[in-house]
Amino acid sequence: MKPNQPLSLADHRLLDLVWQAAPIPSPELCKLAQEKLGWKRTTTYTVLKRLCDKGYLKNESSVVTALVDRATVQRADGQEVLQRSFHGSLPSFLAAFLQAGTVSDQEAEEIAQMLDDYRHGR
């Protein structure tokens, strides 16, 4: 399933818990959210309902499962940032990121390999 609506930080935080534990009974998810995020049960159910309404999660018979995987959400988030902040320009995004000086030699090699793989259709 392709994500159809943007996600808030709270949405992302609950999705992360579900991806790690799914399928998970909703009462257990509430306990996990309390433990990991400090959320009350009502907060968890509010965010859970929102994610179900958006089409990212399913809560059926009190068991929560993801309808969208992490990689799909990451791709959509990346495209949203690229469009919103860089007018769709990947070179502008990379230039801004690289100017921050946060790329190690190992990461630079991995990026170069990804580009090489992309060019060769791998």
pLDDT tens-digit profile of 96-121?
Answer: 888 877 788 898 899 899 999 989 88
Q: Per-residue confidence at 2, pLDDT binned at 50, 70, 90? A: low
Mean pLDDT of 50-59: 95
Query: For the segment 58-92, what is each residue's pLDDT rounded down to a tens digit?
Result: 999 999 999 999 999 998 888 888 899 999 998 89
Q: How high is the pLDDT of residue 98?
A: 82
CB 72 within 8 A of CB 3: yes
pTM passes above 0.75: yes
Q: Per-residue confidence at 29, pLDDT binned at 50, 70, 90? A: very high
Q: Per-residue confidence at 34, pLDDT binned at 50, 70, 90? A: very high
Q: Report how far residue 77's alpha carbon sits from residue 91's, in angstroms, rounded to the nearest whole number.
A: 17
